[in-house]
Amino acid sequence: WTKPLPGLLNCNVDAAVFKEENIMGFGLCIRNADGSFIKAKLGWQHGFINSQEAKALALLEALTWLSDMGITNAIIEHG
Position 69 pLDDT exceeds 80: yes
Q: Confidence band (pLDDT; 50, 70, 90) for 61?
A: very high
* Segment 24-51, tens digit of pLDDT: 999 999 999 999 999 999 999 998 789 9
Position 23 pLDDT exceeds 90: yes
Predicted local distance difference test score (pLDDT) of residue 1: 77
Q: Where are the beta strands (DSSP E) in 20-73?
A: 23-31, 37-46
Predicted local distance difference test score (pLDDT) of residue 2: 83
Q: Is the dihedral of CA 30, 32, 34, 38 positive or negative?
A: negative
